Amino acid sequence: MAARTLYRKLVESHTVSVLDEQHVLLFCDLHLMNEYTSPQAFAGLAERGLGVPLPAQNVAVVSHIIPTHAETPRRIADPASALQASNLKRNCVAHGIPLYDTNDAMQGIEHVVAPEHGMILPGMVVICGDSHTTTYGALGALGFGIGTSEVEHVLATQTLVYRLAQDMQIRVDGMLPVGTTAKDLILMIIGSIGAQGARGYVVEFCGSAIEALSIEARFTLCNMAVEAGARGALIAPDDKAVAYALARAVTLRPEHHDEALRQWRQLRSDEGAAFDVRHQFNAGDVEPYVTWGTSPDQVAPISGIVPSPASFATAAGREGATRALSYTALAPGQPLSGLPVQHVFIGSCTNGRIEDLRDVARIVRGRHVAEGVRAMVVPGSGAVKAQAEAEGIAKLLMDAGFEWRKPGCSMCLAMNDDVLAAGTRCASTTNRNFEGRQGRGAITHLMSPAMAAAAAVTGAIFDARQLETQP
């Protein structure tokens, strides 16, 4: 048998039938749903008189439209949003689909909730009507986003007509410098290969720097691979990934562990497997990165300056930079360090996990949110919220002037009542800085949790390495 990549192994093991050279019918181990991409799919099922044959392999989470502010008698007061949530509950009850509802203690962002509750195992195919499903590649699972019509097909058949991707390898060797994170690494990579640099590819991350990352850091890395256009992201499961999965996989019976481990050990690219494209990076080159424009690839190190549009090689690059600088109200040659911010948002499926909040606490300890800055921390799930409260992180942040919120997507995408006003400049740990992403006319600078914490306490974009303290 010819040497195969990890991606090819996962696809072949889930192929129900080959449709043509480019398409297969793919079996999906787990289908995640949220309140805003599923209503049309359920309506389609009802119109066709179809049911959901494998309800236990579908899970729903209310995450995008849910408010995250302080205690209220009703979690969702907005009538339109409340209707979306109630429709999701009605559909899940009708079809027997598990649901993390609005007031569930473990409710949160789907891409945080799923792995922490053992739903994601190495070797799975996981899909969701959300592009950041690539997150699950951190555990050696093939995750990717799908459209509404595909959601309906999966609900009805647990399969998907899937167009094959190409293979890309991104190798990162060396050691991340102290004070830098996986968020800085992925921003550097996206800045290097471009927002379309991985379009049409499933990316496999490998190398000594990747092996050294924690599982939560790998979630961040795989989560943002889609911002380079990737159709998926994978990291071969090692001992860390296996330990993470086994510790949470309550449905995996002990007598099945040995067989699971045998299969998981085969989840790696064969020696000599062919990749269509290869990239290589040195982790030692990473420093804290911050976006200056309106695309995740418009990024620079904290020591850098805003580039001139004339420095871009293509007409499209020059035009994009010109438009971005007009929107963000920045000028070529302007240093990123010292740029004042009015808002800080810490959360999202990229950086809303407990390790992220521990990074924030290290920077904030002994300091206070700067005057004129509003700083919000939104844990990625009820479990993360409870753990941060148990560790004293929540109290530390609140004492420092941060707002401690309920779980949800919140200000990542302004589909709820956490919306920035026009002209507000925000240091954000999210994954996208598109025009209007956090509110019409709002300006988003993507960065790591530590960098966002540094912005909160200094009132400006600032090198977090200068503020590092020990727990």
| 233-281: pLDDT as tens digits | 999 999 999 999 999 998 888 888 889 999 999 999 999 999 999 999 9
Shortest CA distance to 367 belongs to which of 466, 456, 470?
456
Best CA proximity match to 110, nearest among 37, 200, 159, 174: 37
Q: Are strands 289-291 and 299-301 parallel, antiparallel or unpaired?
A: antiparallel
pLDDT of residue 148: 82
Q: How far is CA 157 from CA 170, 312, 424, in A?
A: 34, 47, 46
Rounded to 10°, the helix 148-157/39-48 angle is 50
CA distances from 103 to 5, 282, 366, 408 (A): 42, 45, 34, 12
pLDDT given at position 80:
80
pLDDT of residue 144: 97
- Tell me if residue 283 falls in helix, strand or coil: helix
Which position has the token pair 């449905």?
A: 251
- Asked whether 469 and 365 are in contact (CB, 8 A), the reply is yes
At what angle are helices 215-223 and 354-364 packed, to 10 degrees?
100
Amino acid at 280: Q
Structural domains of the chain sorted by starting position, each given as residue range(s) with its CATH number in brackets: 13-163+249-261 (3.30.499.10), 166-237+269-285 (3.40.1060.10), 290-466 (3.30.499.10)
With both helix axes pointing from N to C terminus, report the angle between 215-223 and 239-248 in degrees, rounded to the nearest 10. 100
Crossing angle for the helix pair 79-95 and 39-48, nearest 10 degrees?
Answer: 50
Distances (CA, A) of 162 to 22, 123, 133, 146, 351: 8, 17, 15, 10, 29
Which residues of the chain, if any, have pLDDT below 70?
A: 70-74, 469-471
Structure tokens at 463: 């090198």
Q: CB count, 10 Å around CB of 441?
A: 13
Burial of 315 (0-12, 13-18, 19+ CB in 10 A): exposed
**In the prediction, which pLDDT does 72 show?**
58
Reading the block at residue 273, the tokens are 């497997």
For residue 82 the two structure tokens come to: 């409340």
Return the DSSP state at 57: G
393-405: buried (b, 16+ CB within 10 Å) or exposed (e) per residue? bbebbeebbbbbb
Residue 262, Cβ density class (10 Å: 0-12 exposed, 13-18 middle, ≥19 buried) = exposed
CA 88, chain centre distance (Å): 23
Position 468 scores a pLDDT of 80
pLDDT of residue 220: 98
Burial of 271 (0-12, 13-18, 19+ CB in 10 A): exposed
Q: The tokens 């025009």 sit on which residue?
A: 435
pLDDT at 470: 46
CA distance linking residue 222 with residue 50, whole number of Å = 34
Partners of 346 in the beta sheet? 377
- The CB-side HSE value for 116 (13 A sphere, CA atoms) comes to 21
Burial per residue of 74-105, b for 16 or more beta-carbon CB atoms within 10 angstroms, e otherwise: ebbeeeebbebbeebbebbeebebebbbbeee
